[in-house]
Amino acid sequence: MKNLFGDNRQANILSVLRKSSTLNIETLAERFGVSERTVRNDIKDINKELKNSGLIEINQGKCGLRVFDTRDFQNAYARIIETDDLMNSSHKRQEYVFAKLMRAMEPVLTDDLAYEMNIGRSTLISDLKKLRQTMEDYELEIVGKTSKGLALAGSELNIRKFVMENLFDSIYQNYPQDELMLKGIREALAEQNFEESTQKMFENYMTLMFDRFLTGHIITRMPEKYYNLVSRNSFSFVNQLIDNLSKEFYIEIPIEEKIFVFLPIIGMRTPADSKNMYSIELDEKIHPLLKKIVEGIRLELNISIDPHEFAEKFMYHIMFMINRLRYNVHIDNPMFEDIHYKYPLAFKMAEIAARVIGEEAEVAVTQAELGYLAAYFGVFLEVNTLNQKQQKIAVISDKGRVTAQLFAVQIRKVVDSSSQLDILAPSEAVSDILDQYDIVICTTEHMIECECPVIYIHEIFDENELKNKLRQAKFCKGTDAVILDDNWYVMANILKEDTFFNLSEQKDYISALDHMMDVLCQNGYVDEDFKERVWEKESKSSMIIDNIAIPHAIQKAGDAIVLSVGVFREPMPYKNDNIQVVFLLALPEEIRDENLLICVYDEIMSLVKNDELIEKITHSGNYIDFMKVLYKRN
C-alpha cells in the first residue's frame, strides 16, 4: 500500500490513526516495515510534537488517537506533514549523526554535518549533547572538537551493541542484501529448525557483521568470556556456515566475527516447540538456581511454588536469559508496562527471582527481561487459580422453573465451566441442604441461613459484579463474611474493626508499626514473638511498593491470616521511601488456602496503581471510612 506522505513515516502513522479508533502496534510495524520498537519511538516523537493538542495512547499493545484541541492539533498535524521525515525530530537527527560517524573513516566537521542535514549548528550541538548521554551506557564517546572534526570512540563490539539495540531498523532498512548470501543463510537456518524470531535476529547480526567487516571496522578482541562460546556444540553450525560463505566471497573471517554472529543463537528466546527446546542441553546450574528462586519467594512472600508446574520451560527461559544478559544480546518487551500493571504480585515474584539470578549468575537483569520473568509467574498464578477444586453452586429463585433455568444459563456464562450448578426452590433452601454447597446464589429476598457464602443478585445482573463476588466467595467459607454485597475486595472480609489503625498521631514509622503489633498481641491475634520476627525480616529487606509498606511474618496465635491496616494522613519517611499506608500481614505457620494469600497480596499491590484510591484511603479516619473506600458504591 502506498503511503500518503511518502517516506514521512510519522505523518503516515498519524494519518492512519485519524481514520481508525485503535490499531495494534504490530499492525503498524508490519505496514511500515519497521520494528514495534521503532513505531513506539515514532509515537513518542509525535506526542512531543502534538504537545497538549492531542495524544496517541498505547495500552496492551494497541494505540489510539485522542484530540483535545482541534485547532492546535491541525496546526501540529500540518507541521508533521510538511517536515522531512529524516530530520523531523531530535531522535531522528541523532540516529543520522551516529550512522554518519560509525561509517566515517576520518573526523567529520560539525559545520559540514549541519549543512548536510540542513539544520542549524546550535541544533546539531544540542543533538550531540543528547546523543552523548545516550551513548554513555555503552561506553561510547564522540571525541574531538567541533572545529576540528568529530569521531566515534569505543570498542567495535559496543558500537554494534548500540546499533542492534537502537538503530538497526533505521540504518539497515534499505540495505542492499546479496541475494546469494541471504539464500545460503536462510537454507542453513531452516535445516537447524530455529524459530522465526531467532532466524530474523541472526540475519540482522550477519548483516551488521558483514557491513562492518567489509568496510574495515573489525572486532579485534573480545572479553575472555566470549571465547568460551567456541566450545558450545551449536557453535559448529555458525563456524561452518561462515566458512562456506567466506570461500564463496574469497574472504577470511576471524573467530571474533564468528562469535559475534553466534550471539543471537546462544541468547535465543525459549523455543515454543518442545521438541526443539529439548534438543538443546540444559545447563546443570539452572536446576539448583530454580530451587533458590522458589526458596527466595517462600521466605519473602510465604508463598510456596511447586516448580513442577512450569519447571522445564522456565528453566530453559532462565538459561537463555542469562546467556542474553551475559553476552549483551538485547530483546524488546513491548508488553512490559501491561504486565507490570496487570500482574503486580507476579512482578514482585519476578523481582525476587531477578535478585537471586543476579547474585548467582552475576548478571544484571534488565527491565525487558524482568517483564518476561513476570509473565512466567503470571502464568503460574493463573494456572494455580484454575486448578482449584470444582465448585458446587446452588441457584435459588422464586420466579418459576423456566425463569430459574434462564437465570442459571446467564450465571453459567460467568462461572468456571467445571462448576456444578443446581437449581433449588425456596422451599429447599434449608441449611442441611445448602451446607453441601460451596456458594449460594439467590434472587429471593428471604434470608438464607447456611455456612457457605451467599450472593444476592437480581435476575438481570452485572456480570463483572457477579465475577467479583464469586471471586470473593472462594475465600469466604468459614469466615464471618457470609453475605457478599457490593464490596469488591477479598481483603475486606479479613480485616476487623480492631485491626484498623489511624496512625496520624504516631511520630515515625517504627513506633507506628510497633503500636500496631502491640495492639494485635493484646487482642490475641498474634503471639508475643511476632514483633521480633517482623523486625528481623525488616532488617534483611522491606517490602515497600511506592507508598505502601507490606511488613509480614509468621504468627503462632492462630491458624488464620490476620490483616491489619494502618493509615498515615501525611507521608511518613522510612528508609528511602515515604509510607502512606501499612498493610501488616500475620501469617499462620500452615496456610490452609494459599490462594487466599495470593489474592490478598494481589489486591494490595494493585492499589499502588490507583492514586485516587490511595488518596481516599489516607483520609480514612477509622475502620468504617476505610471500608467505604473499598466498596464499589460509597
pLDDT in tens, 490-514: 788 889 999 999 999 999 999 999 9
Tell me the CATH number at 400.
Answer: 3.40.50
Largest CA distance in the chain: 96
Measured CA to CA in angstroms, residue 400 lies from 396, 425, 440, 539 at distances of 10, 8, 18, 62
pLDDT digits (tens, 9 = 90+) for 92-115: 889 899 999 999 989 999 888 888
Average pLDDT of 22-41?
84
In a domain, 205, yes or no: yes
What number is the average pLDDT over the span 10-30?
A: 84
| Per-residue confidence band for 484, with pLDDT thresholds at 50, 70 and 90 | very low
Segment 445-468 shows an average pLDDT of 74
The yes-or-no verdict on residue 41 having pLDDT over 90 is: no
Rounded Cα distance, 565 and 19, in Å: 49
CA–CA separation, 601 and 404 (whole Å): 37
* Average pLDDT estimate for 7-20: 81
Residue range(s) defining the domain that contains residue 141: 90-154
Residue 159 included in any domain:
no
Contact 399, 443 (CB under 8 A): yes
CA of residue 258 relative to chain centroid, distance? 33
The answer to whether residues 608 and 344 touch, using CB atoms and an 8 Å cutoff, is yes
Domain boundary among 138, 154, 170: 154
Backbone angles phi, psi at 423, to 5 degrees: -90, 125
Whether 422 contacts 434, CB under 8 Å: no
Q: Does some domain include residue 280? A: no
Indicate if 619 and 521 belong to the same structural domain.
yes
The three cell numbers of residue 520 are 494485635
Same domain? 437 vs 504:
no
d(CA 235, CA 134): 33
Average pLDDT over residues 412-434: 81
Beta strand pairing call for 62-67 and 23-24: antiparallel
Location of C-alpha cell 494459599: 594
Mean pLDDT of the chain: 85
Indicate if the pLDDT at residue 327 is higher than 90: yes
Q: In percent, how much of the chain has pLDDT > 90? A: 38
Where is the domain boundary, 154, 170, 191?
Answer: 154
- From 201, 203, 200, 213, select the one nearest 179 (Cα to Cα): 203
CA atoms within 13 A on the CB side of 49: 24
Q: How far apart are CA 327 and CA 228, in angstroms?
A: 11
Same domain, 298 and 363: yes
pLDDT at 250: 86
| 99 within a domain of the structure (yes/no) | yes
pLDDT number for residue 477: 54
393 in helix, strand or coil?
Answer: strand
pTM above 0.75, yes or no: no
Q: In what order do the strands lie in the sheet with 454-456?
A: 420-424, 392-396, 439-442, 454-456, 483-484
Number of domains observed in the structure of the chain: 6
Integer Cα distance of 329 and 522 in angstroms: 56
- Segment 413-430 shows an average pLDDT of 80
**Selected residue with higher pLDDT from 208 and 444:** 208
Average pLDDT over residues 20-36: 82
381 or 165, which is more confident: 165
User: Is there a domain that residue 593 lies in?
Assistant: yes
Does any domain span residue 168? no
pLDDT above 70 covers a percentage of the chain that reads 89
- Asked whether 543 and 534 are in contact (CB, 8 A), the reply is no
Q: Phi and psi of 83, rounded to 5°?
A: -85, 135
Q: At what angle do helices 70-82 and 9-19 cross, to 10 degrees?
A: 140
Cα dihedral 71→77→81→87 (10° resolution): 120
Overall average pLDDT of the 293-301 stretch = 91
Q: How high is the pLDDT of residue 388?
A: 56
CA distance 66 to 17: 10
Of 266, 295, 317, the last residue of a domain is 266
CATH number of the domain that residue 74 is part of: 1.10.10.10
CA distance 569 to 368: 36
Q: 507 in a domain, yes or no? A: yes
More confidently predicted of 582 and 39: 582
pLDDT at residue 480, rounded to an integer: 47
Question: Are 396 and 448 spatial neighbours (Cβ–Cβ below 8 Å)?
Answer: yes
| CB-based contact 484:424 (threshold 8 Å) | no
pLDDT attached to residue 52? 87
Range of weakest confidence among 16-30, 45-59, 467-481, 600-614? 467-481
Q: Are residues 425 and 457 in the same domain?
A: yes
pLDDT tens for 538-589 read 998 889 988 899 999 999 999 999 999 999 999 999 988 899 999 999 999 8
Of 413, 616, 621, the C-alpha closest to 630 is: 616
Q: Domain check: are 436 and 471 in the same one?
A: yes
pLDDT of residue 198: 87
Which position has the grid cell 523486625? 535
Nearest partner of 261 among 157, 398, 111, judged by Cα? 157
The pLDDT value given to residue 277 = 72
Highest mean pLDDT among 67-81, 264-278, 348-362, 586-600: 348-362
pLDDT of residue 430 exceeding 50, the answer is yes
Task: Over range 158-183, report the average pLDDT.
Answer: 86
Q: Based on the number of CB atoms within 10 Å of its own CB, is 346 exposed (0-12), middle (13-18) or buried (19 or more)?
A: buried
Q: Is the pLDDT higher at 406 or at 556?
A: 556
pLDDT of 4 reads 45
